[in-house]
Structures are given as C-alpha cells and as structure tokens.
Structure 1
Amino acid sequence: MWDHPDQEIVYRELRRYRLAQFYDRVSRLASGLSKIGVRMGDRVAVLDWDTDRYMEAYYAIPMMGAVLHTVNIRYPQDLIFYTMQHAEDSFVILSEEFLPVIERTSNLFSFVRGWIVHSDTKKEVKTSLPNVYQYEDLVSHSEPYEFPDLSENTTATIFYTSGTTGLPKGVTFTHRQLVLQAMANSLVGNRNPLHLNEDDVYMSLVPMFHVHSWTMPYFVVISGNKYVLPGRFDVKRVLDLIKNEGVTYSFMVPSILYMILTHPEVDQYRDYLRGWKVSVGGSALPKGLAEMASKFGITTIGGYGLSETCPVLTVATYTRSVKAMREEEQIEYRISTGIPLPLVNLRVVDSNGKDVKRDGKTIGEIVVRAPWLTKEYYKDPEKTQALWRDGWLHTGDLATIDTMGYLHIVDREKDAIKSGGEFIPSLLLEDIISLAPGVGEVAVVGKHDEKWGERPVAFVTKKGDVTEKSILEFLEKQASAGRIQKWWIPDSIVFVDSMPRTSTNKIDKKELRKVLEAGVRG
C-alpha cells in the first residue's frame, strides 16, 4: 500500500518513524478505535497540536469509514462545544493540554461516548472525564486492522469555517475529493520556481485543524518526502527544526513567515534558511514580505483557496512566458494568486455572471468548479444554496485575470472599500505600503465617511524608522509613478505594536474595524 517504506516522519525532537512503522501504528489505532465502539460513519473529533498522533488520526479514522473532525482549537470554548455538538461527535482524541477546556464543561458533552487521551510526557493521563481510554494503550494492545473497501464518495472529514457574521459553518469532504486534491498539489511541486524533488524535506506550518493542513499530510505520502511535524507553533522551535532536520519546503500564511523572518535570533539561522521554499496562502503575499524573504535566500510563491475548496485552487508556478522573463519581472507573478491547478475550472465574472476581460484590470468575483469542492454547508441548506448559486461555487473574492491567465486577488467582497462609488482594492494598497522603508505588516480597512461613503485607513507595524509622513510621501511617489491612484492613499496611518489575529493566524480586519468604530485616530 505504501510506495516509500523508508520515508521518515519526524515529530519535533521527540519521535521519528519510517513510513512502514507509521502504517503499522495507523492500522493498530484503527483496530483500537473499532474495539471501543467506533463504527462506520461515526464522527471522531481531534483536539491537538500538529503531532504524530494527529497524523495517525488523519489516516486511521477516514480509512476505517469513520469521519475525522479536525476541531479548531483556537476557537473560544463555546464555539469548540458548538462545532463538536453540531458535527455530532461520538468519540474524541485529545492532548492533555486541552483537558481543562473540556473538563470545565464536561456535563455538556453527553453526546460523546468515549475520550481518547494522550501526552508527550506521561504514560497515563489522569482526567475526570468519563469513558476514558489511553491512546497508546489502544495502539499497543491492538492487532493490525483490516481496512474495509470503501466507496470513494464516503465522507472522510468535516471541519468548520468562520465568516464575518454568524456561527461557524461545517464543510465535509469525501475520500475521492481528498485524493484528487492531494494528487493535484503533488503535481505542481516540480515546476518553477520550486523545483521540488525526492530530497526535499517538507514541514507544513498550517495547523492540522485548518483545511487538512492544505493536504500536505496526505500528499507527502504520495511524493515520498521526509515529513516534519512541529507540534505547537513556536518560532524558535520552527527555526531549530529547519536547521536540524534540513527542512526545505513549507506552507504558511503571510503572518507566520513575517514572524519567522523578524525573530530576534533569525540571523543565526541564515545559512539554514537559504534555499527554503515557501508556498504562502490564506491571504495575499505582500511584495515587501517576498523581498524580505529573498534577502534570506528564500523562494516564496503565492497560492489561493478557501476552506470550502479543500483548499487549493491556484498556485503561482511559472508558465513558459513567465520563466522567460527577467527575475525582477518574475516576482510580480510569484506573489500573484497564480494559475489554476489541473481540474480546476475558474472564472472571474461581473455582477451578471459574465466573464470579465482578461486585461489584468477589470475586477470581478471568482467563481469555480472543481472535483474537490464541498457540496454543502453541513445542515445549512440556505447558505448552501447561496454558496452554489447558478451551479458555481461563489468565493466572495474579487480579482482580475491577466492575458496569461494569472489570477490577481484585489479584495474580499466583505473587505472591499467603496469610496465615492468606486472600489479601492485594499490588498493592492497593502502590497504597495509593504514596500515603504521601515514598514512591517500592513492592513487596510474602510472607515465610514459622510462624503465618500468609506475612506481607507492603514494599520501598520514598524520594523524600522518609519512615520506617517514618510509613508504618505512614499505613496505620493507611487501615485505619481502611476502604480496606484492618488485617491487610494489612506486618510490616516495607525501604528500598532502587533496585529490582531484570527484563529488561523490571518490578520483580523474585523477587530481593526472595531478600533476605528471606537474612535481611534491616526
């Protein structure tokens, strides 16, 4: 079943396995879960950091015909409970670190039939929860499992995605969808500018609870590469793993890359960061961040997808035309949203559903069809109908598409700033501001304006000597050069020590809008 039995899976400095050993543990975990009552179709939740046990659950639970629920551990306690109840979880695998969250309200979890607990430091985990099983006992005291021959359309996973309003929405994916998405992702790695091969060492810095960690835990088995699991995210630990395990390829959101490159000890790791290849998604890859990474010898490329799309739809690999360009021209395409993966039918449409011009200027909404898109929001037919209106999945993202087919995200519909009846693309404006000397992270949001409807305000963290005046002067020069419209220039710059984060480490613009509503002035 496994084509690369000597492939290595490493969990921090604590444990490492060959793939053959890993498969044996997956099989015994499935057998142990079966013995305690997990049946076909049961939801099994996991509350954990990015550990080897989580990786085992990624395979064992779906392969036995149950459904893996990757719980967002960064949700507040009430939303953790809501999503677990809504998903109808029957069993839960959890690290001891999350026991206090559950134990405080254990009486609410009457729908859970069994709790499987584990620890990195203890052989036996003590808890007041009922019906408790020790994870390692289930694995070590079980025989190998004979996995059933499942239909490819069997549901494999469920997780929850948050919008700007309302409760989180559940999305499900089948075995077929996961396999096709993993295979499509594995196809793009050997293209320019990544040039991945069997010697590359992979480590995803996308949490395993978030959209299958962008399927890296699945396609790494297809590609046969060594895989490193970092556990709970810690920048120093990540840098040490890059050094000690020879990590050469990673996934992450922009803010994680920024945190790594601005760590106080990062200069000590320059030799080990040189040659690192990083795919960035979740939000736009700012040009300033890409240039900062390049100074370390790191290659970065953009990509695009949503929770509803499993997630990857596009990756900024090079076409022949881009490959032939000068390096300074290529960066504009590396930081773009990229070109669609195989099997992705992606369009940018106007309000009438007609394709916009492929001129890199005309803005429309991204709509998409692909074999790995979620079919529904779980138990929510009304939102499902809105998501899939006219037979296309509506992303709510605004973009342009150029003559070579590269997608360029300009905004989320919910984040778009409409000033004087015209849109100001906040992502493009953020990208330009990120190039100003001394600027760290940037987020542009709209503020109510009596005359214009909305006007942009830029929130900025500092990584050098920078003032509001120096940023505005920089933007005036960009406007004079024709790179932005003069009326896009923010009315004010607000300096902050750090950006608020969502549960997936993206900059939380909802919180920044609250700051403006509370009357903060730049």
Structure 2
Amino acid sequence: MWVSPLVMAYDYQLLIKHVFEYGKLYAPKQEIVYRDIHRYTYTDLYKRVHRLANALEELGVKKGTRVGVLEWDSHRYLECYFAIPMMGAVLHTVNVRLSPEDIAYTINHAEDEVILVYKDFVPLIESLKSKLPGVKKYVVLTDDNMPETSLTDLEYEKMLKDAKGEYEFPEFSENTMATLSYTTGTTGRPKGVWFTHRKLVLHTLIGALCLTGMRGLGRLKEDKEVYMPMTPMFHVHAWCMPYMAWLLGFKHVYPGRYDPRMLVKLIVTEGVTYTSCVPTILQMIVDNLPPGFKFNRLKMVIGGSRLTEGLAFKAIERGIYPVSCYGMTETAPAITGAFIKPHLLDMSEEELVRNVTVKAGIPWPLCYVRVVKEDMTDVKPDGKEAGEVVARTPWATDGYLNDEEKTKELWAGGWLHTGDIAVMDEEGYITIVDRLKDVIKSGGEWISSLTLENLLSLNPKVREAA
C-alpha cells in the first residue's frame, strides 16, 4: 500500500460542522424567516447554535446521546439540525404523523434521553410520558407563552438565553452517527434508519451540485434564490435541502405547520423561488390558487411518489416548474433526478415534460442505479421491461438500527434494494411504475397502477388520481 510521504499534511474528517462554518462565512447577513413571526440572519443562527449546544450539554447531552425532536418546519429545527450532531450526539427526527403507540416505540427504540417538543405535541408526550422510561429531560418549544404542562419547566428560548455563548464543537470520526429517523410501512413496526456525518456531507455537496449545475426545468440559477421546505423536516432531513440551502447561502423561509394559505402567502411575500414537496402538496397548492394567479417561475423538486403528466402541465400553467427526484429514506434520500442531458436541450417544453420531467430520472453523481430482474441481471433499456431498482451510493444507510435481518434483506447481493418497480428507456431515464409489494402480475406481465394513474390524470375531468 502506498503511503504519502507528507506525514505532516492535515486531513480533516467530513463533519457537518464544516458545512455549518462555510454557510456563515459565505452569507453572514443572509436571512432566515419563520412564518410571519421571526426573522434573523445566518450570523444570528450561528450564535444560537453555539448556545443550544451549551444548553444541551448542561442537560447531560454528550457524544452518542440520542436527542428526539417533535416540531414543525421551523428555524428552531434548523438549529437542531446543526447543534445536536455537531456535538457528536444523534438527532432523532421524530415522525409526528405516526400513531401515538409508534411514536413511543421509536423514542424507546432510539433510546432518546432528551426530548425537544413543540407545544402542539405537548399533550401527546404528556400522555406517553409513563411509557418513556429512558427520557431524562424535556424541553418545550413555543412561538409565544410557555404552556401549562407537567412535563417540564424548561423552555427553549429561555434555555438559550441563559446558556453560554461560545461552544467548541469537537473533532471525531466522520463515520459517527449523526441522525436517526424511522421508516413507515404497511406492516410491522417502524425501522430505524441512521446516517453518519460523512454520508450527510456527501449528500449535501452532490445535492448542491445537482440543484445548481444540472440542466432541468427546476435548475437554480438566480442570484437571489429563496428556499422554503414543503417537506417535513422530520422526514429524511427535509431531503437534506436545508443543509444545501445553507451551504449555498440562500435565504430560508420556514412555514411551520402546513396551511395552504400560509404557504402561498410566504411564497409571494418572501419571494420564494424554490421548494420541495410530494405531488399531493403540489396538487393542494394548485387547487388553492386564486383564478388567474401565476407564480413567477417557482421551482419545485418533486419526490415521494410519481409526478403525473397531468399535474406537471397544470403546475406549469400556474408558473410552477417541477423536477422529479427519486430515492427513499434509506438513501438520505435522493439517488436520481430528472436532469436534461445536453443533447436533449432542443426539445420543446411539452416534450421535456413527457420525456424527462415526470420520470425519476438518471443517477446523481457518485450514484450507481440499476433496474434488475429477479436474477439480478439488468432489464432491457427499452422503456417496457420492468424490474426492481437497486442502488449503490456513498450516502446510503449502512442498515436498520438493531435489525440485522432487515439489513441483510436491504443489502442483498451488495446492492440496496428499493422495493420499487421501474422501467428504463434508451437514454437511461428511469420511470417508477409500482411498488414490488403492490405490483399485479397477469399472464407473466406486470400491470402498473401508477401507469393507470398517469393516464387518468390527463383526463380534464379528473382532478387527482391516486
């Protein structure tokens, strides 16, 4: 093995704190907005993250401690995205849409010791407290007054105000666990999916490249891009978009609990230029726009389920330019995007929508994605022969927390099995046609429910197909 003679050279680990430091260096005066309630700068957030780390340390948080957060999309959540993993602790983004029983299960399975809980969820956690023996401390997050609660007298803003200012975030291995979230399925308990610092930094770097460098209807190329998530921050780091937006120095707008009127208001008043969401949220936005209203080219990354042609065309009519990406919780999440290959740029907008935009796309850089038959051989790239999507990427999870059997199934044959059925066209673009567990076989052929949905969406009498 070759060993570099430059033994004195400095080589640091890929830690989230380096993303954090660069965003503040690059855009110290950039704005972060929370609803119509709060507005501050990158520098302000930077200082508060240091205070949050000191405050959590006072509560006993150290390297390896699991910290659960129950919150809507907010500036506070962004502070947690940085402070908790940068301490060497683990950020557990609790899925507040799970049943109470499953929320208790995930908190216990994750071994959370500290819970940060927004006031909306205080009654829920109060009802579960007796079932959470491992939780030692609770902190309440609120936009106004501290609610009456038997949980704790610790309130987030006061805790930060009382904390020391400077915190020295430590160096440690880039393979240290940074975040933990739980998948949901139709059967069984949620499975814990975890990511290291290295995985999140790589996903952030490549994601920033894809957002700004890859050709597509949703490409970010304006000098004043403004990001607002419409993907829950408890779901796979809001697709890592907050980290990407911070690294790129974009203005952030956080909408709190989703409300169609508030979302549209913030998009207009704060000049939001790009967001990310699932097709149902896009449908909700389109349905709630005033007659004749049109956005000024709002870019929207679409994932979670397939974007239909009908919805894509309706969105473009309203000034919304969607671009599909594909992935899953286990891939952090993105592994493909509907990027336009250079030799396809002369297509009309309608041709691009039909042939590129609504497809899952081609692999992101550093990703290897295949569509395979049951014997793990590749399907024909003819847009007809279907198979399962399998992938390899440096930011995919190593496995499920404390579940060796499910981990082996996930990584069977050295490829991550997505459980999604797809076809690949001659250009290499992938189209998801169904879930492996849902697909119907008739006469040896797969019948795709998603293909039927897409056809229905093109009927002007059909508002939504699902």
In the alignment, the residues of structure 2 paired with residue 249 and residue 433 of structure 1 have an alpha-carbon distance, to the nearest angstrom, of 28
Q: Which amino acid aligns with 1:247?
A: V
Partner of 1:11: 34
In structure 2, the residue matched to 1:461 is none
The worse-fitting range, judged by mean Cα deviation, of 327-336 and 61-70 is 327-336
**Residue aligned with 1:152, SS:** coil
Give the match for residue 217 of structure 2.
193
1:215 paired to 2:240 = yes
In 2: Cα distance, 1:360 partner to 1:324 partner: 22
* Aligned mates of 1:244, 1:325 — CA distance in 2: 34
Question: Could you tell me how far 1:13 is from its partner in structure 2?
Answer: 0.6
Note the 1:205-244 alignment, pairs <5 A: 205-244=230-269
Contact in 1 for aligned 2:386/2:446 (Cα 8 Å): no
After the TM superposition, which residues 214-363 of structure 1 pair with which residues of structure 2 at under 5 Å, given as runs?
214-263=239-288, 265-267=289-291, 270-271=293-294, 273-332=295-354, 333-363=356-386
Larger radius of gyration: 1
Distance 1:326 1:32 in 2: 55
Deviations 1:263-283 (A, max 9, x none): 1x5337x24x23111111000
One-letter code aligned to 2:156? Y
Distance in 1 separating the partners of 2:128 and 2:388: 43
Q: Which residues of 2 match residues 38-49 of structure 1 at below 5 A?
A: 38-49=61-72
Partner residue of 1:52 out of 47, 53, 75: 75
Give 1:162's aligned amino acid: T
Q: Does 1:140 align with 2:164?
A: no
SS at 2:240's partner residue? Answer: helix
Alpha-carbon separation, structure 1, partners of 2:306 and 2:267? 24
Structure 2 counterpart of 1:223, which letter?
L
Write the deviation string for residues 212-254 of structure 1: whole angstroms up to 9, x where unpaired. 0000111111111101100000000000001110011010000
- 2:88 corresponds to 1:84: no
Within 5 A, what are the aligned runs for 1:415-434?
415-434=438-457
Task: State the AA in 2 paired with 1:194.
Answer: G
2:175 to 125, 144, 153: 153
Aligned to 2:18: none
Contact map agreement 2:53 2:87 (CA 8 A) in 1 = yes
Asked whether the equivalents of residues 61 and 89 of structure 2 are also in contact (C-alpha less than 8 Å), the reply is yes
Kept in 2: contact 1:400–1:408 (CA 8 A): yes
Please report how far the alpha carbon of residue 110 of structure 1 lies from its aligned counterpart in structure 2 after TM superposition: 1.9
CA contact (8 A) 1:293 1:299 kept: yes
How far apart are residue 182 of structure 1 and its match? Answer: 1.0
For residue 408 of structure 1, give the secondary structure of its aligned residue in structure 2: strand
- Give SS of 2:283's match: helix
Cα distance per residue 1:20-49 (max 9 Å; x no partner): 111100110001000111111000000011
Letter paired with 1:413: L
Partner Cα distance (2:250, 2:196) in 1: 24
Q: How does 1:18-33 map to 2 (within 5 A)?
A: 18-33=41-56
TM-score (norm 2): 0.92
Task: State the one-letter code of the partner of 1:139.
Answer: L
Q: Measure the CA separation in 2 of the matches of 1:110 and 1:350.
A: 46
Secondary structure, aligned partner of 2:193: strand
Counterparts of 2:58 and 2:395 in 1: how far apart (Å)?
32
Q: Which residue of structure 2 lines up, in the alignment, with residue 448 of structure 1?
A: none
Query: How far apart, in 1, do the equivalents of 2:216 and 2:306 lie?
Result: 20
Give the Cα–Cα distance (whole angstroms) in 2 for the partners of residues 93 and 148 of structure 1. Answer: 22
The percent of aligned pairs where both chains have the same amino acid is 48
Counterpart AA for 2:159: L
Query: Which residue number in structure 1 is paired with residue 436 of structure 2?
Result: 413
Q: Give the secondary structure class of the aligned counterpart of 1:133.
A: coil
SS of the equivalent of 1:41 reads: coil
Q: Is the 8 A contact 1:12 1:231 kept in 2?
A: yes
Distance 1:340 1:6 in 2: 35
Structure 2, gaps ≥5 residues long: 1-20
Contact 1:125 1:134 in 2 (8 A): no
SS of the counterpart of 1:440?
A: coil
CA contact (8 A) 1:116 1:134 kept: yes
Distance in 1 (alpha carbons) for counterparts of 2:87 and 2:331: 24
State the AA in 2 paired with 1:231.
Answer: G
Could you list the structure 1 runs, at least 4 aligned residues long, displaced by more than 6 angstroms after superposition.
none
Q: After superposition, what is the alpha-carbon deviation per residue over 1:38-92, rounded to whole angstroms, capped at 9, x for unaligned?
A: 1110000000111111111111000011000000001111111000000000000
Q: In structure 2, what is the equivalent of residue 398 of structure 1?
A: 421
Determine helix, strand or coil for the equivalent of 1:439.
coil
Q: Which has the higher contact order (CA 8 A, sep 6+)?
A: 2
> Paired residues, what number?
438
In structure 2, how many angstroms separate the alpha carbons of the residues matched to 1:326 and 1:295? 15
